[in-house]
Amino acid sequence: MRASLPATLLLSALLAACASTKDAPVNKNISQSGPLKVHPGLLGQPVPPELQQEPRVATSVSATAGTDSAIKMDEAGLHTQRSVYFDFNSAEVKAEFNPALQAHARYLANNPKSRIRVDGNADERGAPDYNRQLGMKRAENVRQSMIGLGAPEKQISIKTLGESRPKLKGHDEESWSENRRADVVYEQEN
């Protein structure tokens, strides 16, 4: 518990700093060296037609995560918000992932031919059978969350991978926290 206190204080300070610079003027003269480019959709800006994958216009999805501020996610944002992370030895879906899950649920509801699979994962700690069961429970909880948010049941399947597909292969808390997840995999898109 004590180890998370400094992280919590740091996060609070960062959020306060971000909130205080919300109305600050933006420097438009930022130069960039090298090939790094940021997609405007990730910055909440309109996406020019030449950067859109399909000629159709992306729809905006709004969701609130227990606060008054709305999180907007377009269809392109669905491609970047595909993992739900869990605490150690837990399958409880955290409220912070509700906006992304709601966006996926709304996409499925609006695109009846789309199909997704939720892959449940666990870190390397624990017996293989336990990790498979935990991965299945995580996948099922993500599925139930999306169904509760309006996704049709028949469009979502689940699978457990246990510890077999780690995102990071280290043996430390950073790696383990990346591996405690459920991934939304689009099997068929409209």
146 alpha carbon, distance to own chain's centre: 13
| Domain contains 51 | no
Number of domains the chain is built from: 1
| Domain contains 122 | yes
| Domain contains 39 | no
CA distance 52 to 74: 11
Contact 103, 114 (CB under 8 A): no
pLDDT of 42 higher than 80: no
Phi and psi at residue 67, in whole multiples of 5°? -130, 175
| Domain contains 67 | no
CA distance 135 to 91: 8
- pLDDT per position as a tens digit, 141-186: 999 999 999 999 999 999 999 999 988 888 988 889 999 999 999 9
Specify the CATH number for the domain of residue 118. 3.30.1330.60
Phi and psi at residue 146, in whole multiples of 5°? -70, -40
- pLDDT per position as a tens digit, 49-80: 665 554 333 333 333 333 333 344 555 556 67
| Domain contains 21 | no
| Domain contains 154 | yes
| Domain contains 130 | yes
Closest to 116 (Cα-Cα) out of 47, 187, 176: 187
- Structural domain containing residue 108: 73-190
